[in-house]
């Protein structure tokens, strides 16, 4: 077997199951999971309807490149959302559908990395991070290099601390904005600094923007990497790719629908890779996705729901936990009293609430510090009453410590 498989770490939820094994939480308290970032708000009904109505494509193979109408809807959405010059994103050469961003983030790494480089190529990632970046790096024959996101810099990854020789070995930089789990949005100036670094050291930037549509201030949507390119007049989006998804935006994690867009040269090579990989999107999914990308009303409603929940939960946690409202996304990333795994275990044992220890989402950074230590991730995805109930139980738990 491929020896690089041995480098894959157990997934955070596997570690969480082990942490909870053998504990008997109080039966009278209903379980509340704040651990998984799986949207629980209702999926838009029109999407389900189209899925069931458009079964005419079942007897044919869909293409990897996807329907022109899907790529056109995506390009138009990205141009509207990120204030790109009209028709600057070519649906023919700069957009590809993907089956959720997870597979595409993994696959792009396999397509980009030149494993013959010496010394070994680096995939640079934020820390804490989405675990796919690390696994994708190992299986592509690269090594991950982690940049810590710490409270001292408002949880922005400390890009300035990365030595030039690391950038020189870097072939692929993952950024995640809004971040999971920190909720931090990278400002335009940072994105433009990273683009300059990519030019100087010849690497690709893969921007995981799957949380971009979950934000609190309607007048300030998070900026994206293509927007940063466009503001520089760089409308070929050279070296840059963005990854978007309907999973969080439209509460459709089961649809498996997203897209990658940007540099036409990279997209062309990625399409070749994907043709062999075999990951064409089913036609009914493509039709449903077109309708989802064309509608913003359900996305605004979704944001309203998160806003209400964050207000209610943060009001209850205020002064009890060291926690701040994130820039965007649906996670809280609080500092907890003592060790984060012990906190998670005891919270489950006493209050039947599951949170994810921060250290399961991070590694020791170059400075030897694990930025997830002493923190937990809470996903406010459940119904508002469940999230409020969870906050009240957490307050009760902390008051007994
Ligand atoms: C940071 C980040 N990227 C990507 C994904 C993958 O999402 P999907 O494959 O549903 O688009 C997730 C899912 O939780 C995530 O948290």
CA 16 to ligand 1 centroid distance, Å: 19
Domain contains 34 = yes
Domain contains 350 = yes
Which pLDDT score is estimated for 39?
94
Is 100's C-beta closer than 6 angstroms to any atom of ligand 1?
yes
Same structural domain, 235 and 376: no
| pLDDT tens digits, 127-146 | 999 999 999 999 999 999 99
Same structural domain, 210 and 314: no
User: Which of 13, 35, 180 to probe ligand 1 with, by most ligand atoms within 8 A of CB?
Assistant: 180
- The domain of 200 spans 59-295
Q: Is 400 exposed, middle or buried (0-12, 13-18, 19+ CB in 10 A)?
A: exposed
Same structural domain, 341 and 226: no
CA 102 to ligand 1 centroid distance, Å: 5
- The percentage of the chain sitting over the pLDDT mark of 70, rounded to a whole number, equals 100
Same structural domain, 119 and 205: yes
Is 102's C-beta closer than 6 angstroms to any atom of ligand 1?
yes
Same structural domain, 74 and 222: yes
Contacts of 52 (CB under 8 A, 6+ apart): none
Instruction: Look up the pTM and report it.
Output: 0.97
Is 180's C-beta closer than 6 angstroms to any atom of ligand 1?
yes
Q: How large is the average pLDDT for residues 66-73?
A: 98
93-103 burial, b if ≥16 CB within 10 A, otherwise e? ebbbbbbbbbb
Q: Give alpha helix (H) positions in 238-332.
A: 246-249, 264-277, 283-293, 297-317
Is 37's C-beta closer than 6 angstroms to any atom of ligand 1?
yes
Checking if the pLDDT of 239 tops 90, the result is: yes
Both tokens of residue 22? 């053998």
Same structural domain, 144 and 215: yes
CA 103 to ligand 1 centroid distance, Å: 9
Same structural domain, 370 and 386: yes
Which pLDDT score is estimated for 214?
98
Residues in the chain: 401
Which pLDDT score is estimated for 17?
96
Q: Whose CA is nearest to atom 15 of ligand 1?
A: 130
The DSSP code for 58 is: T
Same structural domain, 395 and 283: no
Is 101's C-beta closer than 6 angstroms to any atom of ligand 1?
yes
Same structural domain, 304 and 287: no
CA 101 to ligand 1 centroid distance, Å: 6
Range in 25-29, 159-163, 251-255, 364-368 with the lowest mean pLDDT: 364-368
Handedness of CA 304, 73, 209, 361 (dihedral sign): positive
Checking if the pLDDT of 191 tops 90, the result is: yes
Same structural domain, 125 and 247: yes
Both tokens of residue 265? 């040269």
Torsion of CA 182, 188, 194, 197, to 10 degrees: -160
Same structural domain, 206 and 220: yes
| pLDDT tens digits, 341-371 | 999 999 999 999 999 999 999 999 888 899 9
CA 130 to ligand 1 centroid distance, Å: 8
Residue at a domain's end among 295, 314, 342: 295
Q: How far apart are the first and last CA of the chain?
A: 48
Instruction: Report the nearest atom of ligand 1 relative to the CA of 246.
Output: 11
Checking if the pLDDT of 232 tops 90, the result is: yes
What is the pLDDT of the chain when averaged over all its residues?
97
| Of 6, 197, 205, residue with least CA distance to 112 | 205
Instruction: Report the nearest atom of ligand 1 relative to the CA of 257.
Output: 11
Is 179's C-beta closer than 6 angstroms to any atom of ligand 1?
no
Q: How many domains does the chain have?
A: 2
Domain contains 115 = yes
Is 208's C-beta closer than 6 angstroms to any atom of ligand 1?
yes
Domain contains 33 = yes
Q: Which residue has the higher pLDDT, 401 or 111?
A: 111
Residue at a domain's end among 295, 320, 340: 295
Instruction: Report the nearest atom of ligand 1 relative to the CA of 38.
Output: 14
Q: Whose CA is nearest to atom 5 of ligand 1?
A: 102
| pLDDT tens digits, 286-314 | 999 999 999 999 999 999 999 999 999 99
**CATH code, domain with 14:** 3.90.1150.10
Same structural domain, 369 and 258: no
Residue at a domain's end among 238, 270, 295: 295
């Amino acid at each position: 077997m491929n020896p690089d498989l041995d480098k894959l770490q157990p997934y955070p939820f596997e570690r969480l199951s082990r942490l909870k094994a053998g504990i008997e939480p109080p039966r009278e308290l209903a379980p509340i999971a704040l651990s998984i970032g799986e949207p629980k708000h209702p999926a838009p009904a029109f999407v389900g309807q189209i899925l069931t109505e458009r079964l005419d494509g079942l007897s044919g193979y869909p293409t990897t490149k996807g329907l022109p109408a899907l790529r056109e809807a995506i390009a138009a959405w990205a141009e509207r959302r990120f204030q790109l010059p009209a028709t600057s994103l070519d649906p023919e050469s700069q957009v590809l559908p993907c089956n959720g961003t997870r597979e595409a983030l993994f696959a792009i790494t396999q397509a980009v990395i030149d494993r013959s480089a010496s010394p070994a190529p680096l995939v640079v990632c934020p820390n804490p991070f989405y675990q796919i970046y690390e696994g994708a790096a190992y299986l592509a024959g690269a090594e991950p290099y982690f940049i810590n996101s710490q409270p001292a810099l408002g949880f922005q990854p400390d890009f300035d601390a990365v030595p030039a020789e690391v950038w020189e070995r870097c072939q692929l930089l993952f950024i995640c904005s809004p971040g999971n789990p920190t909720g931090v949005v990278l400002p335009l100036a940072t994105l433009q600094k990273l683009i300059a670094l990519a030019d100087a050291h010849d690497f690709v930037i893969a921007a995981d923007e799957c949380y971009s549509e979950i934000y609190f201030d309607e007048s300030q949507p998070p900026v994206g990497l293509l927007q940063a390119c466009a503001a520089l007049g760089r409308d070929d989006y050279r070296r840059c790719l963005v990854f978007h998804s309907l999973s969080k935006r439209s509460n459709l994690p089961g649809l498996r629908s997203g897209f990658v867009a940007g540099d036409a040269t990279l997209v062309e090579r990625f399409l070749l890779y994907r043709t062999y990989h075999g990951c064409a999107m089913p036609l009914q999914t493509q039709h449903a996705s077109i309708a989802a990308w064309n509608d913003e009303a359900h996305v605004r409603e979704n944001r309203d729901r998160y806003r209400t929940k964050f207000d209610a939960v943060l009001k209850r946690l205020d002064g009890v936990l060291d926690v701040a409202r994130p820039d965007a996304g649906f996670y809280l990333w609080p500092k907890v009293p003592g060790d984060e795994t012990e906190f998670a275990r005891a919270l489950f044992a006493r209050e039947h609430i599951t949170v994810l220890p921060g250290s399961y989402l991070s590694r020791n950074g170059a400075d030897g510090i694990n930025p997830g230590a002493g923190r937990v991730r809470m996903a406010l995805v459940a119904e508002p009453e469940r999230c409020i109930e969870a906050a009240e139980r957490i307050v009760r738990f902390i008051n007994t410590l």
